[in-house]
């Protein structure tokens, strides 16, 4: 027995969750992130945990870590000097993409420049047909010429993405062998190994994004492993994945595509566990940190999954937790445009220099500064005293905006919050419309350093009746990493008509995927406990362009029960689109398999029952809805199961502050969650 540690690095703070396997207690911590020296915040946090809680690094039995280094590499365009080898005459695959305008309502919108520009794309003379047969063998001379071209443009790595390699990867492997023999200094990434999915652009762009981030991700993970070993942590580092699972850091060095949405996915996994605790059938997670706000839909305690999530400006087509960025974070900067209109974001103050109220050199007003001026922040230590609030600096920064708008100080601060929330309202409205969901039916699970601060404002605009603030909202993403399963996805393109002639190939395909899955979880991850496998298939009506991922019972595959598989697809199609055609012919495009292994899960000590009513620590004046009001201040540490509060109120704790607006009443449930319900 020992301590399980989860870490999540955000734009402003790095969060730590430490679970004591003996006592069932959970300790938490925040330290400022170090974008100038990534990874330093981890060793700093471990040292502070040892000092604060007496927990030594050598006592850490499990360590999991979420990181944004991959997605930041794409956003900042600071990845590898990448080149691309394609089948000859298909060199424009990234330029052509899907021929869609980024914004169909803007005639001047333009697609982003590819991560591999056209002068770095080289055609290889070869051709594999759609059935996997060889039409034209690899011409080695064309490969050698392409290698010369890579050296001429200063390429550091090569992505090989050849036509129909999902069906037969032999040519990609052959080309890779030539590159490694003739140019061993070049890294090689094969699209058929990153994600062997049908459709050339989807497979290629996913491999390109993975190859683009690989050097920085591998360097970062190597440095993390060295830092942990130097600090005395003997447990192997685990990395949270885009699909909500975890894998070893060593595997992450080469399988970078699987961890691009590492940090955001683990937050949703934490929120899903809260939804199960509270019994919420339908919920939306709201994760607001220092730089961004993200939401995800959770149904029956499980997050939504999808493909095609956008990383920076580019889609990746591996399965991921479906997370949508909807707006600004606590550090987003307020400004006045040339027409005299108030805007908030997208620029963020981050951790350096941070909001003006942090006193770390920031001079521009942020959402956090606005909340200080309104009286909701500054009533207790913030971020485990990592920063010391200086309200006068916040007033000065917001005052500059007020002067430009010719408005009062408090009115300007409230306007900043309202502008930020209005942007979130717009994006959430789009999201629920796509899902066909009424937001009034959802519980809003608020977390992140700024999520509980703004949740009531957003819920009020969306007419959502319930806001849930978890026990450790400010570090829920780190907690999500602690409870995540070891998990991986496997895929095989088969392109079959769904009839009795497909049975043998489907059985063989799923058998091959199961063997791959067992090798991965046993040999690469070293997981020896029981594992679970979840088969599914991408199925469509003949003539449709895209498929639906349909869960399949393993018994149907073994028995060759095509009728049961078809019926499952019809039900799924009707649930999504409100119609189905049971008489239509079906096609199976891809076979999928998810393998999971469940490490020991934290079992928490029960929450104490309330004895009498809770008494406020103090009362402060806040500015809300255009008027000064009195708000009670409560310490979250004093709140027990059964306690009730009424807004306007402020709930303080080490990892965040919860703002309870007038009209909301709060109660603490048996798991320690704070449930805020809107009256009337």
Q: Which pLDDT tens digit goes with each residue over 451-473?
A: 999 999 999 999 999 999 999 89
> Does residue 315 register a pLDDT over 80?
yes
> Does residue 37 register a pLDDT over 80?
no
Summarize pLDDT for 58-87 with one digit per residue, the tens.
999 999 988 878 887 887 788 999 999 999
* Gap between the Cα atoms of 162 and 159, Å rounded: 10
pLDDT of residue 38: 66
Enumerate residues 6+ apart whose C-beta is below 8 A from 403: none
* Gap between the Cα atoms of 539 and 261, Å rounded: 26
pLDDT of residue 405: 95
Give 436 or 505, the one with higher predicted confidence.
505
pLDDT of residue 169: 96
> Does residue 331 register a pLDDT over 80?
yes
Rounded to an integer, the average pLDDT of 593-601 is 89
pLDDT of residue 573: 93
Whether the CB-CB separation of 473 and 502 falls below 8 Å is answered with no
pLDDT band at 528 (very low <50, low <70, confident <90, very high): confident
* Gap between the Cα atoms of 567 and 549, Å rounded: 14
pLDDT of residue 386: 64
Rounded to an integer, the average pLDDT of 325-335 is 85
Rounded to an integer, the average pLDDT of 175-183 is 97
pLDDT of residue 586: 97
* Gap between the Cα atoms of 542 and 553, Å rounded: 23
Give the closest residue to 370 by CA, choosing from 328, 414, 407.
Answer: 414
pLDDT band at 434 (very low <50, low <70, confident <90, very high): confident
Give 131 or 291, the one with higher predicted confidence.
131
pLDDT of residue 309: 79
Rounded to an integer, the average pLDDT of 113-133 is 95
Rounded to an integer, the average pLDDT of 619-643 is 94
pLDDT of residue 381: 66
E-only strand ranges, 149-278: 157-161, 187-190, 237-240, 246-248
The Cβ-side half-sphere exposure at 654, using a 13 Å CA radius, reads: 15
> Does residue 384 register a pLDDT over 70?
no
Whether the CB-CB separation of 408 and 422 falls below 8 Å is answered with no
Whether the CB-CB separation of 111 and 97 falls below 8 Å is answered with yes
pTM for this predicted structure: 0.85
Give the closest residue to 97 by CA, choosing from 247, 200, 209.
Answer: 200
Overall size of the chain counted in residues: 680
> Does residue 311 register a pLDDT over 90?
no
> Does residue 26 register a pLDDT over 80?
yes
For the chain, the domains span 78-212, 486-597, 618-678
Give 20 or 82, the one with higher predicted confidence.
82
Strand order in the sheet with 82-87: 121-124, 82-87, 157-161, 187-190
Q: Is 157 helix (H, G, I), strand (E, B) or coil?
A: strand
Rounded to an integer, the average pLDDT of 653-660 is 91
Token pair recorded at residue 352: 């350096």
Give the closest residue to 653 by CA, choosing from 624, 675, 633.
Answer: 633
pLDDT of residue 8: 87
**What is the pLDDT of the chain when averaged over all its residues?**
90
* Residue written as token pair 């991965």: 520
Candidate from 9-23, 55-69, 330-344, 506-520 with smallest mean pLDDT: 9-23
pLDDT of residue 177: 97
Give the closest residue to 658 by CA, choosing from 389, 372, 447.
Answer: 447
pLDDT band at 571 (very low <50, low <70, confident <90, very high): very high
The kind and range of the H/E element at 595 are strand 586-597
> Does residue 377 register a pLDDT over 70?
yes
* Gap between the Cα atoms of 414 and 409, Å rounded: 9
Summarize pLDDT for 510-524 with one digit per residue, the tens.
999 999 999 999 998
Which one of 3.40.1360, 3.40.33, 3.40.50, 1.10.10 gives the CATH number of domain 78-212? Answer: 3.40.1360
Summarize pLDDT for 259-289 with one digit per residue, the tens.
888 878 889 999 999 999 999 999 999 998 8
Rounded to an integer, the average pLDDT of 491-513 is 95
Whether the CB-CB separation of 605 and 25 falls below 8 Å is answered with yes
> Does residue 680 register a pLDDT over 80?
no
Token pair recorded at residue 373: 């001026």
Q: Is the peptide bond prior to 353 cis by the omega test (within 30 degrees of 0)?
A: yes
Rounded to an integer, the average pLDDT of 435-450 is 90
pLDDT of residue 636: 93
The distance from CA 480 to its chain's CA centroid, rounded to whole angstroms, is: 11
Rounded to an integer, the average pLDDT of 652-670 is 93
Rounded to an integer, the average pLDDT of 167-192 is 96
Token pair recorded at residue 491: 């895929």
* Gap between the Cα atoms of 423 and 60, Å rounded: 42
Enumerate residues 6+ apart whose C-beta is below 8 A from 295: 284, 285, 286, 287, 323, 324, 326, 427, 428, 431
> Does residue 341 register a pLDDT over 70?
yes
Whether the CB-CB separation of 266 and 240 falls below 8 Å is answered with yes
* Gap between the Cα atoms of 155 and 172, Å rounded: 19
Rounded to an integer, the average pLDDT of 217-245 is 89
CATH class of the domain comprising 486-597: alpha beta
Alpha helices (runs of H) in 552-647, residue ranges in sequence order? 554-559, 562-577
pLDDT of residue 382: 67
pLDDT above 70 covers a percentage of the chain that reads: 98
Token pair recorded at residue 341: 């209109």
């Amino acid at each position: 027995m020992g301590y399980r540690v989860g870490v999540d690095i955000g734009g402003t703070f790095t969060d730590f969750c430490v679970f004591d396997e003996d006592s069932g207690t959970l300790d938490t911590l925040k330290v400022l992130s170090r974008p100038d020296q990534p990874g330093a915040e981890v060793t700093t946090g471990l040292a502070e945990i040892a000092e604060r809680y007496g927990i030594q690094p050598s006592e850490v039995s499990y360590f999991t870590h979420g990181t944004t280094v991959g997605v930041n590499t794409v956003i900042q365009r600071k990845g590898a000097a990448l080149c691309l080898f394609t089948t000859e005459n298909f060199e424009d695959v990234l330029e052509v993409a899907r021929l869609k305008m980024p914004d169909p309502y803007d005639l001047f919108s333009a697609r982003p420049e590819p991560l591999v520009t056209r002068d770095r794309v080289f055609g290889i003379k070869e051709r594999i047909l759609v059935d996997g047969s060889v039409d034209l063998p690899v011409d080695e001379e064309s490969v050698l010429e392409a290698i010369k071209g890579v050296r001429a443009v200063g390429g550091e790595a090569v992505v090989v993405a050849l036509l129909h390699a999902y069906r037969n990867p032999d040519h990609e492997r052959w080309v890779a062998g030539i590159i490694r023999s003739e140019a061993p200094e070049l890294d090689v990434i094969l699209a058929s190994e990153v994600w062997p999915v049908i459709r050339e652009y989807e497979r290629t762009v996913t491999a390109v994004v993975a190859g683009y981030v690989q050097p920085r991700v591998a360097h970062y993970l190597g440095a993390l492993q060295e830092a942990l070993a130097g600090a005395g942590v003997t447990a192997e580092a685990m990395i949270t994945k885009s699909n909500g699972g975890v894998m070893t850091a060593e595997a992450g060095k080469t399988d970078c595509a699987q961890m691009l949405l590492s940090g955001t996915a683990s937050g949703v996994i934490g929120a899903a566990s809260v939804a199960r605790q509270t019994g919420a059938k339908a919920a939306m997670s709201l994760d607001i940190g220092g730089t961004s706000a993200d939401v995800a839909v959770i149904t029956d305690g499980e997050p939504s999954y999808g493909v095609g999530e956008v990383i920076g400006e580019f889609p990746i087509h591996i399965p991921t937790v479906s997370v949508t960025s909807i707006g600004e974070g606590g550090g987003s900067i307020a400004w006045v445009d040339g027409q005299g209109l108030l805007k908030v974001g997208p620029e963020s103050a981050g951790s350096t220099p941070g909001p003006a109220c942090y006193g770390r050199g920031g001079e521009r007003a942020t959402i956090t500064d606005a909340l200080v001026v309104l009286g909701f922040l500054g009533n207790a230590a913030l971020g485990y005293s990592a920063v010391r609030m200086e309200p006068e600096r916040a007033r000065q920064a917001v005052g500059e905006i007020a002067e430009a708008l010719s408005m009062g100080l408090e009115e300007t601060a409230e306007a900043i919050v309202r502008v930020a929330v209005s942007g979130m309202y717009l994006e959430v409205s789009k999201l629920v419309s796509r899902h066909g969901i009424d937001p009034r039916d959802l519980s809003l699970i608020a977390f992140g350093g700024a999520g509980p601060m703004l949740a009531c404002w957003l819920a009020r605009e969306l007419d959502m009746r319930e806001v849930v603030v978890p026990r450790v909202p400010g570090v829920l993403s780190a907690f999500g990493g602690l409870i995540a399963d070891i998990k991986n996805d496997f895929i095989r393109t088969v392109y079959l008509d769904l009839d009795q002639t497909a049975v043998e190939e489907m059985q063989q395909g799923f058998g091959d995927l199961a063997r791959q899955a067992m090798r991965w979880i046993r040999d690469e991850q070293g997981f020896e406990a029981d594992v679970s496998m979840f088969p599914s298939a991408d199925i469509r009506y003949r003539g449709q362009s895209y498929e639906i991922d349909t869960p399949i019972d393993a018994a149907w595959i073994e028995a060759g029960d095509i009728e049961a598989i078809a019926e499952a697809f019809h039900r799924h199609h009707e649930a999504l689109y409100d119609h189905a055609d049971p008489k239509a012919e079906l096609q199976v495009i891809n076979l999928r398999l998810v393998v999971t292994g469940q490490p020991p899960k934290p079992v928490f000590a029960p929450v104490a029952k309330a004895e009498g009513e809770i008494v406020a620590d103090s009362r402060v004046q806040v500015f809300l809805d255009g008027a000064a009001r009195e708000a009670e201040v409560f310490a979250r540490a004093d709140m027990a199961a059964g306690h009730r509060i009424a807004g306007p109120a402020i709930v303080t704790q080490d990892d965040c502050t919860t703002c309870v607006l007038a009209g909301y009443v709060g109660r603490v449930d048996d798991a320690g969650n704070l449930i805020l319900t809107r009256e009337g």
